[in-house]
Amino acid sequence: MSKLYSTGQFLCRTFLRLFFRVKVIGKENIPENEGVLLCCNHIHELDPPFLGAFIKRQTRFMAKSELFEAPILKSLLPKLGAFPIRRGMSDRQALRTGLKLLSEGELIGVFPEGTRSKSGKLGEGLAGVGFFALRSNAYIVPSAIIGNYKLFSQITLVYGKPIDMDKLREEKVSAEEATNKIMAGIQKLLDEYDK
């Protein structure tokens, strides 16, 4: 983990704890040294820092390529370990980069819906996350952010148990089917903890 990332992680934790009542569940479900695909619902711009702020590993995020064109972000994001993906099309370079990082034991954070949910409800997942799940040997960890980011309200972050993808890999199911299984895992967390 780079010094810049650990400093950013500390600042994010501090900010989140100051302005929200943060509850984190299931950190033990994230393997410490293996490749992990951390799959989460997406409700707010603060989701990426929240998803990675409370675990002891660096989370590498796929971020929309437009962010890498912004003046400050284009130099900052790569230093934080993020890499670009072009939305709405097959981005082979992003897929290759993601698979390489997973094979090297990195943790990649993804929001399978591809964009924030305006309703707060879980939307459809894109096939790319299923591709990563099937083509890598990474642990697939569903996660859920529950709350609305109103000042001083409770925001809950749940890391679920890894989803067993071995059978799906053996059966050579489609990326869409794998994505559906992952989305069902996220929905299960939302149903269980959004009380």
The pTM of this model reads 0.89
CB atoms within 10 A of CB 104: 8
Q: Could you tell me the two tokens for 116?
A: 């924030």
Residues spanned by the domain of 172: 3-193
| Pairwise CA distance, residues 191 & 105, whole Å | 30
- Residues contacting residue 73 through CB under 8 Å, at least 6 positions apart: 67
CB atoms within 10 A of CB 32: 11
Structural domain tally of the chain?
Answer: 1
Please give the pLDDT value at position 88: 58
Q: State the burial class of residue 51 (Cβ atoms within 10 Å of its Cβ: 0-12, 13-18, 19+).
A: buried
pLDDT at 1 over 80: no
Please give the pLDDT value at position 89: 55
Please give the pLDDT value at position 140: 96
Q: Identify the band that residue 64 occupies on the pLDDT scale cut at 50, 70 and 90.
A: confident
Inter-residue contact 168 to 63 (CB < 8 Å): no
| Summary mean pLDDT of the chain | 89
Q: Which domain CATH number covers 70?
A: 3.40.1130.10
